[in-house]
Amino acid sequence: MNKIKTLLTELIIIASLIVAIIFVVSFLSFAYGTKYIVIDLILLFAMAGFITLGGYVFALLYGEKKTINSLKNENEYNLNRNYVFFNYDYFTRKITLRNIKNKDLEGYMIAFNCVRNVDSTTKAIKDDISELNGCVADYLLERINNFDKKDIKFSYFCFYHGVFLVYINCSPEYLNNLINDIETRIYDISREHDFRLYIQPYFGIYDRRNENVEEHDVIYKVINYAMTAREYGSQNFDSVTFYSSELFGSNITTEFEAIVEALDKKEFIVFYQPKYSLGKKQFISSEALVRWQSPKNGLVSPIKFISEAENGGLIHRIDMFVLEQVCKDLNETKRKGRRLLPVSINFSIYEFYAPDFVDDIINTITKYKVNPSLIEMEITESVSGANSFVPISIIKKLKEFGLRILMDDFGVGYSNFNNIKNMPIDVLKIDKSFIDNIVDDEKSREIVKLLIDFARSLGLESIAEGVSVKEQVDILRKYHCDTIQGYFYSKPISKTEYEQFLANNPYEKKGVVEK
Ligand code: C2E
Ligand code: CA
Ligand code: CA
């Protein structure tokens, strides 16, 4: 498509130039007589037309380039710094490529953090942490890229989930110095900026030369080993910890590996929780929630494995599985001629940085011939560490394709009202923690009322989640909340149960027209 556009632009530019030359020549002859005046006028209009058309196609072309560039930037630009600092996906791909090309080149995987805990802190502290991480990134790039080329065969960096990942091929002495220097620098930066942060760097290292990495060992396992070593160090107050199978035993990574296995064995299933519109007095959509049907542990809640999956970079696979299952279910429901309602799917913010994120989603929805208006995306605003911005151009692309975007867990996270105002979203989901206390606590009621009014003032739909008793529904109705989700109407249920629920529930008026 782009090639055709480029060709078209070039043709139009050439045509405009030819017309311009003819125009100049005929204009000169016009100066000597009036007989070419009509031709001149025609040429003038033709030229204006060509130039406008050329400009339009040019703008189209340039416009598209610009969005691709900004997409690329947002993919790479994780730390509010103006340089390429790989996101998790690029990072793993680069290393995998490197290993495929040079099987003998193996390196250290280093995972380190600057502060112990980036969660549950105030915005000011999060800003300080972001700034600190940005400065550390500056330092890493400067130190490794500019000065040490002779000592290093290769190095890659990434910042993921509040942790720096460095994959580097160097000597043990160099590694030792590097770690000492980074640690010193972290303390220095914090002092220079007067950050009021509790600095606690922990380094976890996995050496691919000492450990027998099998041929099939994928890079995220290597990352996981380094992360595990870092975690172990932070629990035992050891600032540097090398991973070794003797130290950690063989079951330290079982949880992570069990998730990989469960994905391969297709042990995940999707439940649906209905959402009820107070205005329409109907169920209007549902939320897809993943569960792990483990042969060993039964039905496992996502709370038990989502964060491990995020840490290990597996979340994209889980969320894409949920999307695919939802598309299959919607397709089947449509074929059976049953009631077809939109489904919202949770997407972890970390996968927004994957380069194929948008394509993967569009391809899956297209593959199952699902109308994009039936898919909604829930993104959470409670993002920790320096990855604190939501990539707006990615959301715009998904919206252009036809998806609705929901801001999940609204009120508990990092974004302030001003940020939300500029986000291209459709729905605000008020977090359960506010809803929990609205019956007894006046302040919670005030906050929820404020959040509902705020959503309405921006023209957004408001959804209250975790509504479990009738008194909560009554209060929310009084405040004109649009939609309710929670145990009061239904717990998350299997697809078959959901179909039965929609067919005979006591909350809808009989004879409601099926969509
Ligand atoms: P969430 O997105 O805030 O989802 C709402 C959670 O609240 C769900 O828990 C739901 O079962 C629960 N809930 C809904 N109504 C009530 C209620 O009235 N009372 C109580 N006590 N709980 C209620 P669940 O299914 O355990 O999911 C927990 C979290 O795991 C979700 O929180 C979401 O952040 C994450 N999650 C679930 N499925 C996925 C997924 O497919 N992908 C990703 N990335 N995250 C997921
Ligand atoms: Ca959700
Ligand atoms: Ca929530």
pLDDT for the residue 30: 61
pLDDT for the residue 148: 67
What's the rounded Cα separation, in Å, for the pair 253 and 274? 36
pLDDT tier, 69 (very low <50, low <70, confident <90, very high otherwise): very low
> Mean pLDDT over all residues of the chain?
81
Residue nearest (by alpha carbon) to ligand 1 atom 3: 409
pLDDT > 50? residue 216 = no
**Reduced to 3 states, what is the DSSP secondary structure of residue 113?**
strand
pLDDT for the residue 72: 40
Residue nearest (by alpha carbon) to ligand 1 atom 35: 302
Residue nearest (by alpha carbon) to ligand 1 atom 20: 466
Q: By mean pLDDT, which of 6-10, 197-201, 436-440 is the weakest?
A: 6-10
pLDDT for the residue 84: 52
Full-model pTM: 0.69
**Where are the strands (E) in 257-307, listed by range?**
268-277, 282-294, 298-300
pLDDT > 50? residue 1 = no
Amino acid residing at 84:
V
pLDDT for the residue 158: 84
Region 100-111: mean pLDDT is 79
pLDDT for the residue 93: 78
pLDDT for the residue 133: 85
Region 114-129: mean pLDDT is 71
Task: List the structure tokens of 469.
Answer: 């008793």
Beta carbon of 431 within 6 Å of any ligand 1 atom:
no
Q: By mean pLDDT, which of 87-91, 116-120, 277-281, 444-448 is the weakest?
A: 116-120
pLDDT digits (tens, 9 = 90+) for 290-342: 999 999 889 999 998 988 887 777 888 899 999 999 999 999 999 999 999 99
**Which phi and psi angles does 56 have, rounded to 5°?**
-65, -50
The residue among 373 and 412 whose pLDDT is bigger is 373
Closest ligand 1 atom number to CA of residue 492: 11
Which of 306, 319, 489 is the best mutation target for the ligand 1 pocket, counting ligand atoms within 8 Å of the beta carbon and taking the most? 306
Quick check: 407 and 425 in contact, CB under 8 A? Answer: yes
> Could you tell me the distance, in angstroms and rounded to a whole number, from the CA of residue 408 to the centre of ligand 2?
6
pLDDT digits (tens, 9 = 90+) for 449-465: 999 999 999 999 999 99
> Could you tell me the distance, in angstroms and rounded to a whole number, from the CA of residue 119 to the centre of ligand 2?
19
Beta carbon of 201 within 6 Å of any ligand 1 atom:
no
